[in-house]
């Protein structure tokens, strides 16, 4: 019988990457201990000094990613949400909601509004990434009646044009493998955003590509800064607005 989740949990981002960083660090140390010197032809390589200088870097990368997953992403969520002038009546979309971090954070700022989270639930992008865990998080956080969770592809959303006052997305769009797919996702975000609405897109790569795609879709896109102290890899935020009156 599976244990019932009794407190909110938002998983480890890119768990495979975190694991591999620690595995590589350990492998380098072990190899250096077992084979301190390696001869290749006439050349002798002394591995231990190389291991002491390289392995800690891999381990540090894994540790920083864990710190972000357990602490930094909550600060980054609050940073993103603080960029919205909330009234409480907004209709919100979280693209790539995962276990609901942004969707639930937005729902806590709503009174009559609704917060919708979409995802394709990839386990390689987030540990425990299932809609059931997302729903459970919403229940535990006391916002279940204010949220809606859907299986949706960001490149081809089923929502009507001009559906959302606020759109949020953190570390999602880079997981779309092709540049064309990422452009389609940006176009879809603009399509479903209401005139006068705002989208906040955070990622550690491709922000310039996203900005170009948003502008090509007749939206305004401006950088809202890069953040190095509590995100890893360092994250940037793009603020996108759709011209017109809400």
| Integer Cα distance of 9 and 128 in angstroms | 9
Residue 179 near residue 203, CB atoms below 8 Å: no
Average pLDDT over residues 114-124: 95
Identify the H or E element spanning 201.
strand 193-203
Q: Which residue has the tokens 């394709």?
A: 120
Q: Max CA-CA distance within the chain?
A: 75
Mean pLDDT of the chain: 93
CA angle 55/11/78 to nearest 5° reads 100
Q: Per-residue pLDDT for 43 more than 60?
A: no
Residues in the chain, how many?
246
| Domain annotation for the chain: domains and CATH numbers | 15-70 (no CATH), 75-241 (3.40.50.150)
Q: Per-residue pLDDT for 1 more than 50?
A: no
Tens of pLDDT, residues 61-79? 999 999 999 999 999 999 9
Return the closest-CA partner of residue 199 out of 187, 208, 209.
187
- What is the reported pTM? 0.91
| Integer Cα distance of 194 and 192 in angstroms | 6
Q: Secondary structure of the chain: what % helix, strand, coil (to 5)? A: 40, 25, 35
Q: Per-residue pLDDT for 201 more than 70?
A: yes
Residue 90 near residue 110, CB atoms below 8 Å: yes
């Amino acid at each position: 019988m599976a244990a019932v989740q009794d407190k909110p949990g938002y998983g480890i981002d890119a768990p495979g990457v975190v694991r591999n960083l620690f595995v590589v660090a350990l492998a380098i140390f072990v190899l250096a201990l077992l084979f301190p010197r390696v001869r290749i032809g006439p050349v002798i390589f002394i591995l231990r000094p190389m291991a002491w200088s390289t392995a800690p870097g891999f381990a540090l990368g894994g540790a920083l990613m864990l710190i972000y997953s357990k602490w930094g992403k909550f600060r980054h969520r609050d940073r993103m949400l603080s960029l919205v002038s909330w009234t409480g009546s907004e209709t919100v979309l979280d693209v790539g909601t995962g276990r609901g971090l942004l969707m639930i954070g937005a729902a806590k700022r709503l009174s009559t509004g609704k917060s919708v989270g979409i995802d394709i639930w990839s386990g390689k992008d987030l540990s425990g990434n299932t809609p059931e865990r997302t729903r459970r998080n919403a229940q535990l956080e006391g916002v279940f009646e204010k949220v809606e969770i859907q299986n949706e592809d960001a490149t081809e959303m089923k929502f009507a044009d001009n559906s959302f006052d606020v759109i949020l997305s953190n570390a999602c769009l880079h997981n779309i493998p092709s540049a064309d797919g990422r452009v389609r996702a940006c176009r879809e975000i603009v399509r479903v955003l209401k005139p006068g609405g705002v989208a906040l897109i955070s990622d550690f790569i491709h922000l310039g590509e996203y900005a170009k795609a948003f502008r090509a879709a007749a939206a305004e896109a401006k950088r809202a800064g890069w953040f190095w102290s509590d995100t890893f890899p360092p994250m940037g935020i793009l603020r996108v607005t759709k011209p017109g009156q809400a």
